[in-house]
């Protein structure tokens, strides 16, 4: 019997390839068969539904089967990780030839999945087109060929060696690049036009509502960030409630989040120039342009609902986690989980994903011998989260004399996921499969490294963090899988990819860049695709010219202010539910007490009852709502059923001008 036919104990990495195919088959069967009953159990809408029916702002339907299958897909990596851990502890033995054959089959599966995912990427705006793919393949081939030369490898290794000068240069280049890139996030009132895009009617209006005395999680229902509006309100109060001030502050927060990412990359890569090489394409691919809009482009970093509201807190938590694992401050896990708790209260889905990712990262960094050792970690995580809750409770008590209402934290996640607001079917094939495979790979590599007791625990922990975060944050895409959500998920994808790139580069460097495996080639190909995204860079002079363009003032806001001013008097208690309604009412000195930003946020009967209860309790004399059919109004209107409900509650239509309908309390 030859040496290749004699069974031997397999390494954790070999076990991962051996169990990949059976685990994938078992997970797929569970997703197909168990997804529907699980979805109907967990995502049952009950009697609540989107309302009014057939209103364009209440589109969508519950999709419990899709949500149930996503839950199982997100849990599937636990099956693979558990199989690797069990096989390692029991000393799984197999003939080397058979193990190599299974590894080859697993690599072929990943390659086929990548090809299918790219071929099926036919969204409204193709993310990676044929030209980009061809350029990435050619660039990767050239780089691999060059790295076979010893002199090239030695020079590259010399460059990656950290010195003080290289560190300063890398940080400077990263800061200048990020600043130049983020110029595209700046907007002005004239560029935004008549309400415009970029989620500003929601996000900026929320900040002005806080200035007006509203308290998120108590008496004001916020779709996006629940805590960030407090900071935004302070900035707007100090520098003026203009779109430029708001977007400049959002861009500054984006820059801080990117600084956390760069610092995390530097800890992982152990090289400033290495971190720079990961950081530049991360910025580019994480802000890929989705759709053009008036005055600019709609991309993840220009939509403040994504950056900094969702990703900002998450990447701050990632950086703190990496520092903690690297034995730097914060020394105590309580601090990390306190920040993670604030991120969760700010944006529930991404904050929970970051918290779970931190738990996974710390477990992989410490390799607990038994489940009992997880108790103290869970206790510290709970204590940090409770501390964050206590701080928010104190804030709302001091501000509004009331505790936060948990129902308001869950309101919009339930509307998006369980009720299916603007839901879309999830394509069977598409680029999201490649993203999923990347997150899965990061988790499995982290588990393998933890079993092997690899010395670089920072890299191990951040592999786990990035994989878990990407999988759980993917619920954002699953609920409404359109091109905007897909491009928004590319940041999480590239964060995980960067960790895998570090693993692959170190492994290939140890082999003099020879005989790369299929999996290693796929990781490097993904990195080459992200480098190609740099083609979307807009030179600073172009962005400055965009900001300086001479344009007319927005017609809608001026007309709306004139109408509302004519129909009210200073200090009058009103509910202004038109786009930027809180900004309009603040400029006119009105006491706006609307519990929602504007009317198209009210998409259930329960939300309409909240509006009516507020109007009755606060003795609101006049309501101003969007009037359908206005040429000036580009977003949002009021359904006829909603108007009828307001009339039944005692409000009489008074006048309709400039896309706004006034309803006055009947005397």
Helix (H, G, I), strand (E, B) or coil at 626: strand
Q: Is residue 405 assigned to a domain?
A: yes
Measured in whole angstroms, the distance separating CA 63 from the mean position of its chain's CA atoms is: 21
Mark 412-423 as b/e (b = at least 16 C-beta within 10 Å): beebbbbbbbbb
Measured in whole angstroms, the distance separating CA 489 from the mean position of its chain's CA atoms is: 6
φ, ψ for residue 55 (rounded to 5)? -80, 135
Looking at the 3D structure of the chain, how many domains does it have? Answer: 2
Same domain, yes or no, for 158 and 203? no
Q: With cut-offs at 50, 70 and 90, classify the pLDDT of residue 630.
A: very low
Q: Is residue 548 assigned to a domain?
A: no
What's the burial of 593, exposed, middle or buried (CB within 10 Å: 0-12/13-18/19+)? buried
Residue 113: partners with Cβ closer than 8 Å, 6 or more residues away? 433, 434, 437
CA–CA gap between residue 148 and residue 152 (Å, rounded): 8
Q: What is the pLDDT of residue 443?
A: 97
CA dihedral in degrees (277, 283, 284, 288; nearest 10)?
150
Same domain, yes or no, for 398 and 448? yes
Q: Is residue 2 assigned to a domain?
A: no
Q: Is residue 232 assigned to a domain?
A: yes
Q: Is the peptide bond before 423 cis (omega within 30 degrees of 0)?
A: no
Tell the residue number behind the tokens 């690297």, with chain if given. Answer: 326
Q: How large a percentage of the chain has pLDDT more than 90? A: 77
Please answer whether residues 56 and 636 qualify as being in contact, where contact means their C-beta atoms are separated by less than 8 angstroms. no
Q: What is the pLDDT of residue 633?
A: 46
Taking residue 640's Cβ as centre, other Cβ atoms within 10 Å add up to 11
* In 453-512, alpha helices (H): 457-473, 475-479, 483-510
Give the tokens for residue 347: 């944006």
More confident residue, 331 or 449: 449
| Cα distances (angstroms) measured from residue 644 to each of 138, 354, 605, 647, 657 | 63, 44, 13, 5, 19
Instruction: With CA atoms as reference, report the closest residue to 634 among 562, 579, 563.
Output: 579
Instruction: With CA atoms as reference, report the closest residue to 599 among 562, 620, 624, 630.
Output: 624
pLDDT tens-place string over residues 565-616: 999 999 999 999 998 999 999 999 999 999 999 898 999 999 999 999 999 9
Q: What is the pLDDT of residue 295?
A: 63
Q: Is residue 353 assigned to a domain?
A: yes
Same domain, yes or no, for 167 and 291? yes
Rg (CA), the chain: 27
Top-ranked range on mean pLDDT: pick from 110-124, 345-359, 547-561: 345-359
Same domain, yes or no, for 283 and 229? no
Same domain, yes or no, for 392 and 250? yes
Q: With cut-offs at 50, 70 and 90, classify the pLDDT of residue 1.
A: very low
Same domain, yes or no, for 80 and 136? yes
Dihedral (CA of 286, 292, 298, 301) sign:
positive
Q: No. of H helices and E strands in the chain? A: 26, 9
CA–CA gap between residue 185 and residue 504 (Å, rounded): 34
CA–CA gap between residue 611 and residue 608 (Å, rounded): 5
DSSP assignment of 55-113 equals -GGG-B---HHHHHHHHHHHHHHHHHHHHHHHHHHHT-EE-HHHHHHHHHHHHHHHHHH
Q: Is the pTM of this model over 0.85?
A: yes
pLDDT tens-place string over residues 223-261: 999 999 999 999 999 999 999 999 999 999 999 999 999
Please answer whether residues 74 and 474 qualify as being in contact, where contact means their C-beta atoms are separated by less than 8 angstroms. yes
Helix (H, G, I), strand (E, B) or coil at 200: helix
CA–CA gap between residue 344 and residue 426 (Å, rounded): 26
Give the tokens for residue 101: 């054959």
Helix (H, G, I), strand (E, B) or coil at 52: coil
User: CA 474, 480, 481: angle at the middle one, nearest 5?
Assistant: 70
Beta-ladder partners of 585: none
pLDDT tens-place string over residues 4-62: 568 888 999 999 999 999 999 999 999 999 999 999 999 988 888 999 988 888 999 99
CA dihedral in degrees (525, 531, 532, 533; nearest 10)?
120
Please answer whether residues 471 and 354 qualify as being in contact, where contact means their C-beta atoms are separated by less than 8 angstroms. no
Structural domain of residue 463, as residue ranges?
Answer: 9-189+245-543
Instruction: With CA atoms as reference, report the closest residue to 481 among 434, 433, 426, 439.
Output: 426
What's the burial of 188, exposed, middle or buried (CB within 10 Å: 0-12/13-18/19+)? middle
Last residue of a domain, one of 485, 511, 543: 543
Instruction: With CA atoms as reference, report the closest residue to 22 among 109, 89, 91.
Output: 109
Segment holding 654, helix H or strand E: strand 651-657
Give the tokens for residue 257: 């989040």
Same domain, yes or no, for 515 and 641? no
pLDDT tens-place string over residues 490-518: 999 999 999 999 999 999 999 999 999 99
Q: How large a percentage of the chain has pLDDT more than 70? A: 95
Same domain, yes or no, for 561 and 598? yes
Q: Is residue 4 assigned to a domain?
A: no
Tell the residue number behind the tokens 């970051």, with chain if given. Answer: 354
User: CA 525, 528, 529: angle at the middle one, nearest 5?
Assistant: 90
Q: With cut-offs at 50, 70 and 90, classify the pLDDT of residue 657.
A: confident
Q: What is the pLDDT of residue 556?
A: 81
Same domain, yes or no, for 231 and 253? no
CA–CA gap between residue 396 and residue 151 (Å, rounded): 62
Same domain, yes or no, for 126 and 236? no
Q: Is residue 512 assigned to a domain?
A: yes
CA–CA gap between residue 292 and residue 125 (Å, rounded): 11
Most distant CA pair in the chain, distance: 100
DSSP state of 303: S
Last residue of a domain, one of 490, 514, 543: 543
Helix (H, G, I), strand (E, B) or coil at 577: coil
Please answer whether residues 463 and 495 qualify as being in contact, where contact means their C-beta atoms are separated by less than 8 angstroms. no
Same domain, yes or no, for 126 and 92? yes
Segment holding 637, helix H or strand E: none
* In 511-639, alpha helices (H): 518-532, 540-547, 555-567, 581-587, 605-617
Last residue of a domain, one of 490, 516, 543: 543
| Cα distances (angstroms) measured from residue 134 to each of 128, 199, 433, 435 | 10, 35, 20, 19
Same domain, yes or no, for 271 and 318? yes
Lowest-confidence region among 268-277, 288-297, 519-528: 288-297
Q: What is the pLDDT of residue 634?
A: 44
What angle separates helix 12-42 from helix 431-452, to the nearest 10 degrees? 130
CA–CA gap between residue 214 and residue 221 (Å, rounded): 9
Residue 460, pLDDT > 80, answer yes
DSSP state of 273: H
Q: Is residue 549 assigned to a domain?
A: no
Please answer whether residues 441 and 275 qualify as being in contact, where contact means their C-beta atoms are separated by less than 8 angstroms. no
Average model confidence (pLDDT) across the chain? 92
Give first-to-last CA distance, the chain, whole Å: 100
| Residue 523, CA atoms < 13 Å, CB-side half-sphere | 26
């Amino acid at each position: 019997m030859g040496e290749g036919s004699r069974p031997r104990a397999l390494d954790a990495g070999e076990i991962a390839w051996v169990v990949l195919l059976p685990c994938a088959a078992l997970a797929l069967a569970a997703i197909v068969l168990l997804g529907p009953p699980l979805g109907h159990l967990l995502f049952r809408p009950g009697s609540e539904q989107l309302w009014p029916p057939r209103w364009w702002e209440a589109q969508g339907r519950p999709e419990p089967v899709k949500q149930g299958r996503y839950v199982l897909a997100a849990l599937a990596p636990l099956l693979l990780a558990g199989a690797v851990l069990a096989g390692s502890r029991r000393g799984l033995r197999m003939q080397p030839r058979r193990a190599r054959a299974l590894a080859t089959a697993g690599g072929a599966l990943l390659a086929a999945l990548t090809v299918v995912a790219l071929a099926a990427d036919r969204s409204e705006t193709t993310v990676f087109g044929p030209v980009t793919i061809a350029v990435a393949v050619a660039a990767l081939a050239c780089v691999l060929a060059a790295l076979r030369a010893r002199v090239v490898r030695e020079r590259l290794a010399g460059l990656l060696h950290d010195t003080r000068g290289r560190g300063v240069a890398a940080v400077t280049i990263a800061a200048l690049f990020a600043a130049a890139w983020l110029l595209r996030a700046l907007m002005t009132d004239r560029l935004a036009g008549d309400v415009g895009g970029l989620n500003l009617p929601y996000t900026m209006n929320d900040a002005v509502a806080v200035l007006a005395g509203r308290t998120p999680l108590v008496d004001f229902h916020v779709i996006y960030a629940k805590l960030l509006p407090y900071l935004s309100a302070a900035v707007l109060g100090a520098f003026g409630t203009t779109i430029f001030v708001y977007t400049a502050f959002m861009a500054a927060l984006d820059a801080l989040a990117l600084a956390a990412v760069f610092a995390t990359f530097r800890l992982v890569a152990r090289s400033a120039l290495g971190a720079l090489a990961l950081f530049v394409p991360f910025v580019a691919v994480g802000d890929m342009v989705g759709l053009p809009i008036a005055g600019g482009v709609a991309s993840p970093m220009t939509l403040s609902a994504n950056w900094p509201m969702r990703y900002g807190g998450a990447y701050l938590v990632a950086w703190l986690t990496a520092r903690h694992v690297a034995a730097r401050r914060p020394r105590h896990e309580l601090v990390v989980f306190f920040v993670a708790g604030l991120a969760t209260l700010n944006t529930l889905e991404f904050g929970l994903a970051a918290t779970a990712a931190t738990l996974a990262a710390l477990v992989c960094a410490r390799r607990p011998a038994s489940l009992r050792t997880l108790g103290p970690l869970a206790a510290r995580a709970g204590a940090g989260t409770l501390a964050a809750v206590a701080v928010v409770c104190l804030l709302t008590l001091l501000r509004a004399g009331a505790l936060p209402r948990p129902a308001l934290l869950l309101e919009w996640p339930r509307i998006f996921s369980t009720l299916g607001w603007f839901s879309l079917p999830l394509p069977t094939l598409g680029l999201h499969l490649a993203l999923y495979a990347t997150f899965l790979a990061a988790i499995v590599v982290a588990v393998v490294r933890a079993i092997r007791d690899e010395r670089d625990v920072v890299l191990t922990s951040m592999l786990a963090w990035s994989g878990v975060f990407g999988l759980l944050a993917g619920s954002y895409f699953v609920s409404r899988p359109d091109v905007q959500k897909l491009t928004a998920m590319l940041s999480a994808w590239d964060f995980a990819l960067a960790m895998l790139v570090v693993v692959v580069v170190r492994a290939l460097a140890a082999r003099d860049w020879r005989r790369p495996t299929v999996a290693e080639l796929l990781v490097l190909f993904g990195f080459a695709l992200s480098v190609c995204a740099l083609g979307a860079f807009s030179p600073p002079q172009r962005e400055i010219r965009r900001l300086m363009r001479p344009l007319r003032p927005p017609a809608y806001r001026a007309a709306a202010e004139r109408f509302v001013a004519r129909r009210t008097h200073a200090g009058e208690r009103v509910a202004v539910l038109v786009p930027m309604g809180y900004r309009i009412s603040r400029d006119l000195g009105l006491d706006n007490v609307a519990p929602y930003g504007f009317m198209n946020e009210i998409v259930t009967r329960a939300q309409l009852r909240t509006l009516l209860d507020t109007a009755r309790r606060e003795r609101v004399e006049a309501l101003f709502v969007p009037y359908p059919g206005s040429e000036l109004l580009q977003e949002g209107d009021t359904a006829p059923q909603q108007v009828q409900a307001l009339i039944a509650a005692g409000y009489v239509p008074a006048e309709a001008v400039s896309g706004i309908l006034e309803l006055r309390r009947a005397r």
